[in-house]
A and B are shown apart, each in its own frame.
Chain A
Amino acid sequence: MTTVSEHRAEAGPSAPPRGRSGRGRSGRGRRRSPVFDAVTPLGLAARYLTLLVILAITVGPMLWEFSTSLKSAYEDVYTATPRLLPQHPTFGNYGHVARLIPVGHFALNSVIVAVLDVAGNVLGATAAGYALARLPFRGRRLLLGLFLSTLVLPGEVTIISQYQTVTRLGFGDSLLGVALPAMIGALNVLLMRNAFRSIPAELEEAAVIDGATVWQRLRHIALPGVKGTLSVIVILTFIGAWDDFLWPLLVLQSPDKLTLTVGLSYLQGALVADPRAIAAGAMIALLPVLVLFVTLQRFFFRGVGEGAVKG
């Protein structure tokens, strides 16, 4: 108790200067040393201001697109001072999009492709990542190097040869052909490998002594520890498959097989283009991504830091 009260006395502004004659200042108490990470009102304001600026930069275009999609045909879209609130809000643009293209059908095609890609990555990247992280076998490092080296090639260079491969395999003009090349991402394999490596090896060694097989160790020891990374992979793969334009454009020929991004691009015609309908289409395409993110965000933020600190 005494120490506490002494401290209080020290910190209190009315406390008399104590015996340290040389450092006492003008009758007031010793100045508080700056506390690390202390929040001053000014600092707080600066932080929130910065956050607001970033928010405006990231969310602003989306809001603008959303407000454009609600604007009626009598309002200007491109103006020097953007007006966020539509003067005559209307959902007519959404109806217009639905009338122009079979949005539901295209969205279903996109979902099929995205689900194939997500399933392929969850299964494949888990299996490959675990093998690279935990199973000793000949050529493991070489394999890892190969995975890494594929990341160096830009997609633009390989896209035509990839296209030829897929059509020769007989998957041209099919949703499977669209999904196939992205069903296991090299980057995802590396992410899973790192996530598995961050689980202490001792845990697994203990399981080995208890007689657990590889599958049991993967299922009961390793997987519960990498849920975060898995959800990151699910979201990123889903977004990647959902947003891809060029690849499905190349593979698909029949109008009834198009994915949503390719289908929506019909709104931007050569001689006719209504920016309001395009904005409405973009909003429709955004919805599933938002829903998925909201559902998985609990895991997502855990996953971002998961592989960062080594155990």
Chain B
Amino acid sequence: MPRVRAGFTPAAVAAIAAITTVALSGCGVGGTSSDAAKQSVAADAPLKGTITFQTWSLKNDKFTPYFTGLVQDFETRHPGTTINWIDQPGDGYTDKVTSQVTSGSLPDVVNLPPDIAHSVAKVGGLLDLTKNVPTLAQDYVHSGVAAYGYADLGADSYGLPWYLGTDISLWNKAMLQRDGLDPAHLPKTFDDLLAQAKVMHDRSGGKDYLMSRPPGLSDIVNSGTALMTSDGKKFAFNTPGAAAMLDKYTAAYAAGYLPSDVLTSTYEGNSALFNKQEVAWTTGGGNYIQSTQQTNPSLTPLIVPSPALDTAPLYVQGVSVAAKSKNLPLALAFAEFVTDDTNQVNFVKLAPGYLPGSAASANNPAYSKSDGTAQGDASVFAYQDMQKAVNFTPPVWTDAMNTVLNQQIALAMTGKESAKQALDNAVNRADQLLDQ
């Protein structure tokens, strides 16, 4: 899985609260911090000096040569400049960025996912890129730019889309065939999935599972329900459509089509169960087959990819510029260099299943041609999914809200509440959390 969505640990929540506090107390000292975010950087300023460029979890055998080459290339084109590339480990990135923001040591150019970028932009830590990159709308993928624009901060965007990911479906061919299902006719919709899950359950005597995931926000979106009211001030996903979807899950769960522990804390996640060959379907990033080759080589030849059922989610990684950088012209120039078309294309060559965030290449038909391998097919499906993928999680959706939703869904699926009641409760509680 790409590290695209950071989990909010208690530490992270406290950390985000801390950023806000520091920003508020900072207002009294100098000009308001949003001035720094809104400033314009002179486009013709000479490029010289030193900046730091921070990536997230990309320092390893595979990507290190790419970044060393990238930095050298830039330094040769602009003599007199030095780029220090640093990389932060995957875990604890929210906390690390928070500490960098509070101590004023946020690197000049920094790779941030949209949720962390939001909390940094909220305290004025990021440069407004809509204002400073005139070609933002033409040069970058629209959905990516939109992911870095936040309703509470105005329409402007705070990140240059870098690499984009989505989910595809992955199936275990051997298990499907064992239970009399045809890998050439994979489910295309949720209802197909339910029908085939029944076949698999009945043929295997309840031993094999096709479905192994409790419903979540994505299922609600796929049921044709808008998550929020059009003004974005209230949640509104307690619709009959969503309730009908939840009822289908409840029936499937009662019939034993899902492992009984999907609602408990011992649930390992659908991809873990897929790797153990206990379930025959999972969703995963476009590079799932490649990463399975590293963990479970004997499973790889059995995997058949297919496009995501219904709407695919969009995961974005972007590059932002620190508003308090001491060398803004150089920082901005380097951020644009990293995300320019050529460099993005070269980056994605190392990350099959992902797509560049630069508009010129994102729609390149070359990505829709498979090399004939399963991983090649998977990359093509990821490319196709990406065309209609949306980042449907509202930026205001918190971990606490997700917990409430999961609890209510569990109550509904075990028959302790009606689906309608569960969704009503979840909406009410989420609205309360939103107002806090």
| In the complex, residue of chain B having the shortest beta-carbon distance to the beta carbon of A250 | B99
A269 and B294 contact, CB distance less than 8 A: no
Assess the A159–B14 pair: CB atoms within 8 A: yes
When distances are taken between beta carbons in the complex, the residues of chain A under 8 Å from B92 are: 245-246, 249-250
Residues of B within 8 A of A79 (CB): 276-277, 296
Check A157–B103 contact: CB distance below 8 A: no
Question: How many angstroms from the CA of A80 to the CA of B278 in the assembled complex?
Answer: 7
| A301 touches B (CB below 8 Å) | no
With A74-B297, A100-B61, A270-B57 as known contacts, state yes or no: A265 contacts B91, CB within 8 Å: yes
**Residue B82 at the chain A interface, CB threshold 8 Å:** no
Docked pose: A269 CA to B91 CA in angstroms: 10
- Which residues of A lie under 8 Å from residue B2 when comparing CB positions? 270-271
Q: Give the docked Cα–Cα distance between A100 and B105 (Å).
A: 27
Q: How far is the CB of A207 from chain B (nearest CB, A)?
A: 48
Question: Interface code B72-111, partner A: CB below 8 Å = 1, 0 otherwise?
Answer: 0000000000000011111110011011001101000000
Q: Using a CB-CB cutoff of 8 Å, which residues 95-129 of chain B contact chain A?
A: 95-96, 98-99, 102-103, 105
Per the bound structure, the CA–CA distance linking A117 and B58 in Å amounts to: 32
Q: B interface, by DSSP: helix, strand, loop or mixed? A: loop
Question: Is A275 interfacial (CB 8 A cutoff)?
Answer: yes
Interface readout for B1-26 with A: 1 if CB under 8 Å, 0 if not?
Answer: 01100000111001100100000000
Query: Which residues does chain A contribute within 8 Å of B96, judged by CB atoms?
Result: 249-250
B212 within 8 A of A: no
Q: Is A156's CB under 8 angstroms from B62's CB?
A: no
Give every chain B residue within 8 A of A265 (Cβ-Cβ): 89-91
Q: Is A268 an interface residue (CB 8 A)?
A: yes
Other-chain contact of A160, B10, B86, B102, B278 (Cβ < 8 Å) = B102
Q: Which residues of B contact A267 (CB under 8 A)?
A: 60
Q: Does A120 interact with chain B (Cβ within 8 Å)?
A: no
Q: Which residue on A lies nearest to B293, using beta carbons?
A: A73
In the bound complex, CA of A256 to CA of B436 (Å): 43
Size class of the A contact interface (CB-based, 8 Å) = 35 or more
Find out whether the CB atom of B11 lies under 8 angstroms from the CB atom of A269. no
How near does chain A come to B374, taking the closest CB pair, in angstroms? 17
A249 touches B296 (CB 8 A): no
Using CB atoms, name the residue of chain B closest to A158: B14
- Chain B residues within 8 Å of A250, by CB: 92, 95-96, 99
Q: How far is the CB of A110 from chain B (nearest CB, A)?
A: 15
A166 → chain B, closest Cβ, in Å?
Answer: 10
What 1/0 mask marks residues of chain A from 266 to 285 whose CB sits below 8 Å from any chain B CB?
11111111110000000000
What is the total number of residues of chain B having a CB less than 8 Å from a CB of chain A?
46
Q: Are A269 and B14 in contact (CB under 8 A)?
A: no
Assess whether B272 is interfacial by the CB under 8 Å rule: yes
Contact B103 A164 (CB under 8 A): yes
Name which residue of chain B comes closest to A99, CB basis: B61
Is residue A6 contacting chain B, with contact meaning CB distance below 8 A? no
Q: Which of the residues A78, A157, A255, A275 comes within 8 Å of B276, measured between beta carbons?
A: A78
Interface string of A245-262 (1 = CB under 8 A from B): 110011001010000001
Q: Which among A76, A159, A269 is the interface contact of B90 at CB below 8 angstroms?
A: A269
Residues 168-208 of B contacting A (Cβ, < 8 Å): none
B89 touches A275 (CB 8 A): no
B-contact 0/1 string along A121-164, CB 8 Å cutoff: 00000000000000000000000000000000010110111011
* A77 engages B18 (CB within 8 Å): no
Contact of A246 among B3, B11, B350 (CB under 8 A): B11
Q: Flag whether A225 is at the interface (Cβ < 8 A).
A: no
Closest-by-CB residue of B relative to A269 is B60
Contact of A271 among B15, B272, B287 (CB under 8 A): B287
Q: Contact at A156–B14, with CB atoms within 8 Å?
A: yes
Contact A164 B102, beta carbon cutoff 8 Å: yes
User: Residues of B contacting A246 with CB < 8 Å?
Assistant: 11, 92, 95
Q: Report the Cα distance A91→B96, complex, angstroms.
A: 34
B99 touches A160 (CB 8 A): yes
The reply to whether the CB of A29 lies closer than 8 angstroms to some CB of chain B is no
Choice from B62, B276, B297, B299 contacting A272 with Cβ under 8 Å: B62
Asked if A205 is an interface residue, CB under 8 A from chain B, the answer is no
B264 at the interface (CB under 8 A from A): no
User: Which of B2, B96, B103, B277 is most buried by chain A, counting CB atoms within 10 A of its CB?
Assistant: B103
* Chain A 63-78: CB-based contact to B (< 8 A → 1; otherwise 0): 0000000000111111
A77, A164, A255, A270: the one contacting B58 at CB < 8 Å is A270
Bound: A200/B161 CA distance, A: 70
B9 to A, closest residue via Cβ: A156
Q: How far is the CB of A31 from chain B (nearest CB, A)?
A: 48
Chain B contacts for A275, CB-based, 8 A = 294-295
Please give the distance in Å from A251's CB to the nearest CB on chain B.
8
Find out whether the CB atom of A172 lies under 8 angstroms from the CB atom of B276: no
**Are the C-beta atoms of A268 and B14 separated by less than 8 Å?**
no
Question: Which of chain A's residues have a CB closer than 8 A to the CB of B262?
Answer: none
Q: How far is the CB of A309 from chain B (nearest CB, A)?
A: 37
- Complex CA–CA separation, A80 to B60 (angstroms): 30
B5 to A: closest C-beta gap in Å: 12
Closest to A78 in B: B275
- Given A159-B14, A160-B98, A270-B2, are A80 and B90 neighbors across the interface (CB < 8 Å)? no
User: In chain A, what residue has the closest Cβ to B12?
Assistant: A156
Q: Known interface pairs A73-B297, A273-B294. Does A159 touch B103 (Cβ–Cβ under 8 Å)?
A: no
Could you show 23 A-B contacts with beta carbons less than 8 Å apart? A75-B298, A78-B272, A78-B275, A79-B277, A100-B60, A154-B10, A159-B14, A159-B95, A172-B103, A246-B11, A249-B88, A249-B91, A249-B92, A250-B99, A253-B86, A266-B60, A268-B57, A268-B90, A269-B58, A270-B56, A272-B60, A272-B63, A274-B294
Q: Which 7 pairs from chain A and chain B are nearest by CB?
A: A265-B89, A270-B57, A160-B18, A78-B275, A76-B296, A156-B11, A250-B99
- A residues at B contact (CB < 8 Å): 73-80, 100, 154, 156-157, 159-161, 163-164, 167, 172, 245-246, 249-250, 253, 255, 262, 265-275
Beyond known contacts A77-B296, A163-B102: 17 more, CB 8 A cutoff: A76-B298, A78-B272, A78-B275, A100-B61, A159-B15, A160-B15, A160-B98, A249-B95, A266-B59, A269-B57, A269-B90, A270-B57, A271-B287, A272-B63, A272-B291, A274-B294, A275-B294
